[in-house]
């Protein structure tokens, strides 16, 4: 039976470390770290995510605020909000909550964020730094996966990995981060032929296709490490019951076959939020000239 890589527990340890670092450097910095979330429209899932991020900020001492525009807001209005936040000294991090309602151009909005405040790590400058292996703000979800693997004691050097998905948000940066950890990486996508065969060769399988239950047990190499990035809301089966979440992996059938697996919920999701907090504290320290960085979360011996 696979060992579960518990993102909920690890995220709590990251929060403790961040809370300590914020408290330690508050006097030198002169003000707490600030995160602003730019939200447009009333997508219910976005509402839940934004609420969770705000709560997590509160737990570590980051001052958060939500700039909420109606779905009818123009591109110019949202751009002006971002520009105001770029110039605001109380704001260290700006998160543009995706998806943006049509006809807004999300790519142009992300480009408008000051790279020093780009806590999502999606600005071309930060993605370029990632490709070059230079320090910078890293995309939160793949950074969270790397932390889960490190704290799960997974030896990455020289292993063969398959990442399913090539989005800028997850798949592409995931592939780059794994390569930088000396993993031999294949990135699959919707046009990949014989996906199951690629999966069966992988010692590490990262599923980020956004396809519920795509990966079944027969696709998984025995003793593989399986990371499930997908999040899908399953509507309640009948009135009075609750909606549940599931991933891209058929958890119940893959768990007995894998060596390690991330659950959904409680795997990658909480670590994505933890990395957003990490980036915000890092951006704050950089802006305020704090030396010493963030207290690291000790790795297992
Ligand atoms: P996305 O932008 O829709 O990208 C999906 C990628 O998967 C694309 O590259 C697509 O290929 C590929 N793909 C789709 N169907 C496939 C199939 N049947 N076989 C192989 N490849 C396939 O999605 P995303 O933003 O990367 O997110 C992926 C999933 O992760 C979603 O479920 C999302 O909700 C979840 N997510 C979770 C977190 C978290 O914190 N846990 C954070 C971000 C995203 P093409 O490029 O060829 O279209």
- Say how many residues make up the chain: 301
Average pLDDT score over residue span 126-150: 98
Nearest CA to ligand 1 atom 17: 190
95's enclosing H/E stretch is strand 93-96
Nearest CA to ligand 1 atom 16: 190
Q: Give pLDDT tens digits for 75-87.
A: 999 999 999 999 9
The reply to whether ligand 1 has any atom less than 6 angstroms from the CB of 277 is no
**Which pLDDT does position 237 carry in this prediction?**
87
- The token duo for 58 is 């509160």
Q: What is the distance in A from the centroid of ligand 1 to the CA of 111?
A: 21
Q: What is the distance in A from the centroid of ligand 1 to the CA of 190?
A: 10
Q: Give pLDDT tens digits for 88-119.
A: 999 999 999 999 999 999 999 999 999 999 99
Distance CA 271, CA 296 (A): 15
The reply to whether ligand 1 has any atom less than 6 angstroms from the CB of 201 is no
- The token duo for 206 is 């990262």
**Which pLDDT does position 274 carry in this prediction?**
98
Q: Say if residue 291's pLDDT is above 90.
A: no
Distance of CA 163 to the CA centre of its chain: 15
Q: In the structure, what pLDDT confidence band is assigned to residue 301 with cuts at 50, 70 and 90?
A: confident
- The token duo for 172 is 């592409």
pTM: 0.97
Rg (CA), the chain: 19
* Neighbouring residues of 155: CB distance < 8 A, sequence distance ≥ 6: none
Q: What is the distance in A from the centroid of ligand 1 to the CA of 212?
A: 10
206's enclosing H/E stretch is strand 204-207
Taking alpha carbons only, the member of 117, 158, 143 closest to residue 281 is 117
**Which pLDDT does position 44 carry in this prediction?**
87
* Neighbouring residues of 239: CB distance < 8 A, sequence distance ≥ 6: none
Locate all alpha helices (DSSP H) within 133-267, ordered by sequence.
Answer: 140-151, 171-180, 195-201, 251-254
Q: What residues are annotated to the active site?
A: 53, 97, 120
Q: Give pLDDT tens digits for 207-241.
A: 999 999 999 999 999 999 999 999 999 999 889 99
Q: In the structure, what pLDDT confidence band is assigned to residue 186 with cuts at 50, 70 and 90?
A: very high
Give the mean pLDDT of the chain. Answer: 97
Average pLDDT score over residue span 114-137: 98
The reply to whether ligand 1 has any atom less than 6 angstroms from the CB of 17 is no
Q: Please state which of the ranges 75-79, 148-152, 240-244 shows the lowest mean pLDDT.
A: 240-244
Q: Say if residue 292's pLDDT is above 90.
A: no
**Which pLDDT does position 164 carry in this prediction?**
98
Nearest CA to ligand 1 atom 47: 190
Q: CA torsion, points 125, 126, 129, 133, in degrees to nearest 10?
A: -170
Residue 119 main-chain phi, psi, to 5 deg: -75, -5
Neighbours of 284 (CB within 10 A): 25
């Amino acid at each position: 039976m696979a060992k579960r890589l518990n993102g909920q527990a690890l995220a709590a340890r990251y929060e403790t470390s961040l809370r300590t670092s914020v408290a330690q450097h508050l006097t030198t910095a002169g003000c707490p770290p600030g995160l602003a979330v730019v939200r447009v429209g009333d997508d219910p899932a976005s509402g839940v995510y934004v609420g969770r991020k705000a709560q997590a900020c509160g737990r570590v001492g980051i001052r958060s605020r939500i700039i909420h525009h109606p779905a009818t807001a123009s591109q110019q209005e949202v751009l002006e909000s971002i520009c105001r936040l770029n110039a605001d000294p109380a704001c260290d991090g700006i998160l543009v909550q995706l998806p943006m309602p049509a006809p807004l151009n999300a790519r142009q909005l992300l480009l408008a964020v000051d790279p020093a405040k780009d806590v999502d790590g999606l600005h071309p400058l930060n993605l370029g730094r990632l490709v070059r292996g230079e320090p910078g703000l890293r995309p939160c979800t793949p950074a969270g996966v790397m932390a889960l693997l490190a704290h799960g004691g997974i030896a990455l050097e020289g292993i063969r990995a398959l990442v399913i998905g090539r989005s800028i948000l997850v798949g592409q940066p995931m592939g780059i981060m794994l390569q930088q950890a000396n993993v031999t990486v294949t990135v699959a996508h919707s046009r990949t032929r014989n996906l199951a065969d690629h999966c069966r060769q992988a010692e590490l399988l990262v599923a980020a296709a956004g396809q519920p239950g795509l990966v079944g047990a027969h696709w998984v190499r025995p003793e593989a490490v399986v990371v499930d990035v997908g999040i899908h809301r399953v509507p309640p089966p009948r009135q009075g019951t609750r909606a549940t979440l599931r991933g891209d992996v058929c958890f119940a059938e893959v768990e007995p076959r894998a060596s390690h697996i991330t659950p959904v919920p409680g795997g990658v999701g909480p670590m994505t939020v933890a990395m957003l907090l990490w980036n915000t504290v890092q951006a704050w320290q950089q802006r305020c000239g704090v030396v010493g960085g963030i207290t690291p979360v000790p790795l297992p011996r």
